[in-house]
Amino acid sequence: MLQVGKQAPAFNLESDSGTKISLASLGGTRVVLYFYPKDNTPGCTQESCDFRDNLSRIKALGAVVFGVSKDSVSSHKKFSEKFSLSFSLLSDPSHAMLEKYGVWKEKKLYGRSYMGVERTTVIIDEHGKIAQIFPKVKVKGHAESVIKVLQEM
């Protein structure tokens, strides 16, 4: 279970550009990881575009943004190009990182149970520790909430 103040779980995932991104390679940088269910769905598209539209403000606060889902690198690439996303999307098809971060959960839809990503955002400080966890994110206004936390760090 993730806890504020604890070390963030390590990861090393392929991005939409085909490069590997690891937590270790981001040392000294604040990291915003937003976990989302699926490329090209309305809520996920809105959330991604909100982060895109606020990226300069987030970067000015010394942070980088990564979207994470179980979708493939090729799906991420198409999604990123379609919406001109200016940050990397990380692919976790085995959902190993999603499980480490506690966002791979049982969900229900129309009485059917299935496993999927619970929309969550985690902010990691420049020392690799969890600074903030936003569980069960509501998309509207979320990027603004993330900026507010970064401003207070």
Euclidean distance between CA atoms 59 and 13, whole angstroms? 21
Which residues are annotated as catalytic?
44
How many CA atoms are closer than 13 Å to the CA of 123, on its beta-carbon side? 21
Taking the C-alpha atoms of residue 115 and residue 81, their distance in angstroms, rounded to an integer, is 28
- Sign of the dihedral through C-alpha 74, 136, 59, 132: negative
